[in-house]
Structure formats: structure tokens, C-alpha cells
Amino acid sequence: MRYTMPNGVIQKQTDPERYLFGCGLSMQREESGLTPQGNPVGGRWVLRSGDGDWIDHDQYRADLAQRHGLTV
């Protein structure tokens, strides 16, 4: 599933490692848990829907944001 938002601009940066977007998505660095493929998250950036569903992850926040049309 790919979310490309024409207005994916940061609405609020709640702390240095969490971003909330006007389109309802959130992006944050997560230390624990597993990816949908079963690999450890290990400090990667995770993009989630407004409902908290996993969308995508990446080692770099800029790459993750760019892939989904978001601006950080």
C-alpha cells in the first residue's frame, strides 16, 4: 500500500524523532518490535496510518518521506 499525499506537510513535530502530518500519517523512530516481514525494527523510521497501521519503514527518514510524497 502506498500513500502519496499532495499535502503531506508536517503538521507537528512532537519531538525530534516523531512527526505528525496533516494528512493523518505519523512517522517515528521505533526501537522495538518486528517489521511485517518478521525482522527486528532496530531503530528504523516507521510510517504509520492515522489508525496506527504499518505502512513502510526505512533506515533514513528523508528517504521514507520522499518515497511517500511527504516533506520533513
Cα separation, 66 vs 68, in Å, equals: 5
Provide the whole-model pTM: 0.81
Q: What angle do CA 61, 67, 68 make, to 5 degrees?
A: 95
70-71 and 54-58 beta bridge pairing: unpaired
With cell 504499518, the residue in question is 54
11 touches 65 (CB < 8 A): no
Structure confidence by residue, pLDDT tens digits, 34-68 = 999 999 999 999 999 999 999 999 999 999 999 99
Cα separation, 52 vs 47, in Å, equals: 9
8 touches 25 (CB < 8 A): yes
